[in-house]
């Protein structure tokens, strides 16, 4: 059997929060990095190329690629550019594992390419599953690919399940930090600025997911993600607010025993476990000192105020193309909020209205998923104008 040290990886979205932490793991574990991909961050990509010496680096922006090509002309790394180039790297089959930490719907096509190549997919891009859960599961099965969760909650569930029999699982308990606005009323949420929403209490993440955490949309996405990763019905996936972010999620079995995974909040454990699975290895994670923490608290989420979490359950229940609609609408609304064009509560109202208006397709093909994504974004713009 291969040890983690003998593995080679490709990191998609290498300049983002999870991407840089994936490369931290590669550094600590001495893992070979075959390829990296980023959107526009030339200086970060240059730094990563000089340290990890990948054979190839994909850059989304043509202009950034031109600049990078000049900067790293003295290295052996080939720079390619554009969306298709990144999809080609994802599907090249050259690594033992591809880590997809691209943000948003943009991560779907690269995930599909990885699955078709038969290489294992360490998935941090939850939007892949939110948009196309059924299709992704079918592709994984057809190509005999294991999807290894990198989202902290899903990594926790993956660890809690271990070798248990599927029929013994009663429910999944996803923990949520609650975001910075837990306990606030709808009125109190209306004046929130992007700066306030970007200050997450326990996790340091990119801007899009930080806003999603503040609206609880992120938790809604994670409910959908858990449904497809672990084949558990929506009604058996529960959310509990746990502000300390120490219990990363739990699995309840039919005998009412609950198994939880606890550790200091650090995404590097999730990447490391995805790469070392089914084994474990030592790493950089700080040991957990429960006596120093003293207590852990758990509360019910407020589904009325944070209605996007509730909406995610409804979307999951109806299925079809609604996941893609939910994600597309949310991506557009979050971008508008970060741009100060709409308010924090507008995100919730607009996304709810857009999902309500989308044309329903019960068994969408990938093409329908892409069309739904575009349509949902248009609906947000139309709703603002009306």
Binding site for Mg ion (CB under 5 A): 151-153
Cβ count near 188 (within 10 Å):
12
How many angstroms separate the CA atoms of 30 and 284, rounded? 13
- State the nearest-atom distance from the C-beta of 205 to Mg ion, in Å: 9
- State the nearest-atom distance from the C-beta of 62 to Mg ion, in Å: 32
Q: Which is nearer to Mg ion, 87 or 217 (CB)?
A: 217
How many angstroms separate the CA atoms of 5 and 32, rounded? 8
- State the nearest-atom distance from the C-beta of 125 to Mg ion, in Å: 12
Residue nearest to Mg ion (CB): 151
Q: Which is nearer to Mg ion, 154 or 375 (CB)?
A: 154
- State the nearest-atom distance from the C-beta of 224 to Mg ion, in Å: 12
Contact in structure between 210 and 301 (CB atoms under 8 Å): no
Burial classification of residue 267, based on how many CB atoms lie within 10 Å of its CB (0-12 exposed, 13-18 middle, 19 or more buried): buried
Q: Which is nearer to Mg ion, 153 or 373 (CB)?
A: 153
- State the nearest-atom distance from the C-beta of 199 to Mg ion, in Å: 18
CA 112 to chain centre: 15
Q: Which is nearer to Mg ion, 152 or 327 (CB)?
A: 152
Q: Which residues of 283-296 are buried (b: 16+ CB within 10 A; e: fewer)?
A: beeeeeeeeeeeee
- State the nearest-atom distance from the C-beta of 239 to Mg ion, in Å: 12
- State the nearest-atom distance from the C-beta of 155 to Mg ion, in Å: 9
Q: Which is nearer to Mg ion, 151 or 252 (CB)?
A: 151
DSSP letter string, 97-142: EEEE---SGGGHHHHHHHHHHT-EEEE--THHHHHHHHHHHHHHHH
Cβ partners under 8 Å of residue 348, min gap 6? 215, 306, 307, 308
> Counting runs of H as helices and runs of E as strands, what totals does the chain give?
17, 11
Q: Which is nearer to Mg ion, 19 or 91 (CB)?
A: 19
With CA atoms as reference, report the closest residue to 28 among 51, 49, 45.
Answer: 51
Q: Which is nearer to Mg ion, 126 or 375 (CB)?
A: 126
């Amino acid at each position: 059997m291969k040890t983690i040290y003998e593995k080679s990886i490709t990191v998609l979205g290498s300049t983002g929060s999870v991407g840089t932490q994936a490369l931290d793991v590669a550094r600590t574990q001495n893992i070979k990095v075959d390829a990296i991909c980023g959107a526009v961050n030339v200086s970060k990509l240059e730094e990563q190329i000089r340290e990890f010496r990948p054979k190839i680096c994909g850059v989304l922006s043509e202009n950034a690629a031109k600049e990078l090509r000049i900067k790293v002309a003295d290295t052996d790394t080939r720079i390619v550019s554009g969306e298709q180039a990144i999809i080609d790297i994802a599907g090249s089959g050259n690594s033992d594992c591809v880590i997809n930490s691209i943000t948003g719907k943009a991560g779907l096509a690269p995930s599909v390419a990885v699955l078709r190549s038969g290489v294992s997919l360490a998935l941090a891009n939850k939007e892949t599953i939110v948009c196309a859960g059924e299709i992704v599961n079918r592709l994984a099965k057809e190509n005999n690919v294991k999807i290894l969760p990198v989202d902290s909650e899903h990594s926790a569930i993956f660890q809690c399940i271990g070798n248990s029999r599927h029929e013994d699982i009663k429910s999944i308990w996803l923990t949520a930090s609650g975001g910075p606005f837990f306990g606030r009323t709808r009125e109190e949420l209306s004046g929130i600025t992007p700066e306030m929403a970007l200050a997450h209490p326990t996790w340091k993440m990119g801007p899009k997911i930080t806003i999603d955490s503040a609206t609880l949309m992120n938790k809604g996405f994670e409910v959908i993600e858990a449904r497809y990763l672990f084949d558990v019905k929506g009604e058996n996936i529960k959310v509990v607010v746990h502000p300390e972010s120490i219990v990363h999620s739990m699995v309840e079995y039919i005998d009412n025993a609950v198994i939880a995974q606890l550790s200091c909040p650090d995404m590097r454990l999730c990447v490391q476990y995805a790469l070392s699975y089914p084994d474990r290895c030592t790493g950089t994670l700080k040991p957990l000192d429960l006596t120093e923490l003293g207590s852990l608290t758990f509360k019910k989420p407020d589904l009325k105020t944070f209605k996007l979490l509730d909406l995610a359950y409804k979307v999951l229940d109806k299925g079809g193309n609604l996941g893609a609609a939910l994600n597309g609408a949310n991506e557009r609304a979050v971008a508008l909020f970060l741009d100060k064009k709409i308010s924090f509560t507008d995100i919730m109202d607009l996304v709810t209205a857009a999902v309500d208006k989308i044309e329903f397709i019960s068994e969408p093909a990938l093409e329908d998923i892409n069309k739904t994504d575009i349509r949902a974004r248009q609906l947000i713009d139309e709703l603002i104008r009306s």
